[in-house]
Chains A and B, each alone.
Chain A
Amino acid sequence: MMSNKIETQKPDMWTARLRQSWQKNLPIEKLLPDTQPAYVASWIYVFGVLTLSALAVIIASGVVLAFEGPSWYHISDAGRFVNSLHFWSVQLFFFFMVVHLWGKFWMAAWRGKRQATWITGSIAFVVSIATAFTGYLTQTNFDSQWIAFEAKDGFNSVGIGAWFTVTNLGQMLLMHVAFLPLVLGLITVIHVLQVRRKGVVPPIDAFDQTLKGVNK
Chain B
Amino acid sequence: MVAPFLYIEASFKATSLNLVKSESALLIRGAKVTGFFSEFMNLNAVYLKANSWLSISVSNLVVIISMLVIFFIAISIPFPKDHHESSKNGRGQK
Q: Does B47 contact A (CB under 8 A)?
A: no
Once A and B bind, how many residue pairs between them come within 8 Å at the CB atom? 60
Determine whether the beta carbon of A46 is less than 8 Å from that of B92. no
- Quote the shortest CB–CB distance from B11 to chain A (angstroms): 12
Q: How many residues of B contact A (CB 8 A)?
A: 25
The contact of B74 among A34, A41, A103, by CB within 8 Å, is A103
Say whether B89 faces chain A, with CB atoms less than 8 Å apart: yes
Q: How far is the CB of B79 from chain A (nearest CB, A)?
A: 4
CB contact list, A82-130 vs B, under 8 A: 95, 98-99, 102-103
Q: Which of B13, B89, B94 contacts A34 (CB 8 A)?
A: B94
Kindly list chain A residues whose C-beta atoms are within 8 Å of the C-beta of B63: 95
Asked if residues A103 and B75 are in contact (CB atoms below 8 Å), the reply is yes
Which one of B9, B67, B79 contacts A99 once the chains associate, using CB atoms below 8 Å? B67
Q: Does A159 contact B (CB under 8 A)?
A: no
Which chain B positions have C-beta within 8 A of A66?
none
Chain B, 53-79, CB within 8 A of any chain A CB: 63, 66-67, 70-71, 73-75, 77, 79
Q: Flag if B9 contacts A142 (CB, 8 Å).
A: yes
Known: A40-B93, A43-B77. 15 other contacts (CB 8 A): A36-B93, A41-B82, A43-B74, A44-B71, A44-B75, A47-B74, A74-B13, A74-B27, A74-B30, A77-B30, A95-B70, A98-B67, A102-B71, A103-B71, A103-B75
